[in-house]
Amino acid sequence: MGAGHDHGVTESSHERPLWWALGLTAIFLVAEIVGGLLTNSLALLSDAAHMGTDVLALGISLFAVRLSRRPADAKRTYGYARMEALGAMVNGGLLFVVAGYILWEAVGRFRDPPEVASMGMLVVAVVGLIVNLISMRLLKAGSGESLNVHGAYLEVWADMLGSVGVIVGAIVIQFTGFARVDPIVAVLIGLWVLPRSASLMRDAGHILMQGVPKGIDLDKVRSAIGSTPGVRSLHDLHVWALGSTVPVLTAHIVYGPDGGTAEAMRESIASGLNERFGIRKATLQLEASSCEQTVTHDAPP
């Protein structure tokens, strides 16, 4: 028995904030690239690079949101809910590439730090910080409910820290003339982003590999089903997620007559899974004897 077919409801509820965040980020990206080139600041350009991945990441997130709302069809019987995890995986990969490039570029600047126009760097970074804070506010609600939105939120969070770092660097250069603080800030941004990118990709990979969703203990699920009156045993128990908020369960259950009718037992188990574990899509095959007991036949002469 399965219940709950609203795969895209949560995702679609966060589409408008994603659009606003994308618009703000895209507009400021142009200003930050121009500012980084004019001031010759690697820290500012690294922040612009992250901002560029934000634009792409938010675009991917919106694409995934829209596609995940498409209904199941003859080729994709579960629909497009997995687009959420695919979008998060791409976003994590983008963060990795950008952080790696900035770290590589910073090495050269440590050896020969160029002149940096600190005041222009400061002005652009302050505006960037304001844009990032607004975008973070827009995406915060959805970041705890959707892996896809969480990936976009993480991108913006990294940019916010980058803007703070650039502001600090600009102030240091302005008052001390210590130009090496620029690549130092860029390195710190890259080192902050890398482990969080790995975490995002790990979570997305876990979903794509059909791992047990976070917050669900498989042993407790097995125990809950096994304690239902009339259940003799169960096998082929699988729990995975279509997206970060859509857990799915399938199981074969061997039952006896003391549990009532098969339909009543199925309803009882499905209701318990929904109440205790939030599993609304449960496909339960009830068997009078285990289908694991295979029957062999002699081959014809």
Ramachandran angles phi, psi of 46, nearest 5°: -65, -40
Q: For the whole model, what pTM was predicted?
A: 0.68
Q: pLDDT by residue (tens digit) across 61-118? A: 777 777 767 777 778 777 777 777 887 788 788 778 877 877 887 777 777 776 767 7
Specify burial of residue 73 (Cβ count, 10 A radius: 0-12, 13-18, 19+).
exposed
Mean residue pLDDT of the chain comes to 77
CA atoms of 239 and 6, how far apart (whole Å): 18
Tokens of residue 85, six digits = 């995890």
Q: d(Cα 208, Cα 240) in Å, to the nearest integer? A: 9
Convert the pLDDT of each residue in 18-31 to its tens digit.
Answer: 788 888 888 887 87
Work out whether the CA dihedral 17, 143, 68, 92 comes out positive or negative: positive
Express each pLDDT in 157-209 by its tens digit. Answer: 777 877 787 788 888 888 888 878 878 877 887 787 788 778 878 888 888 89
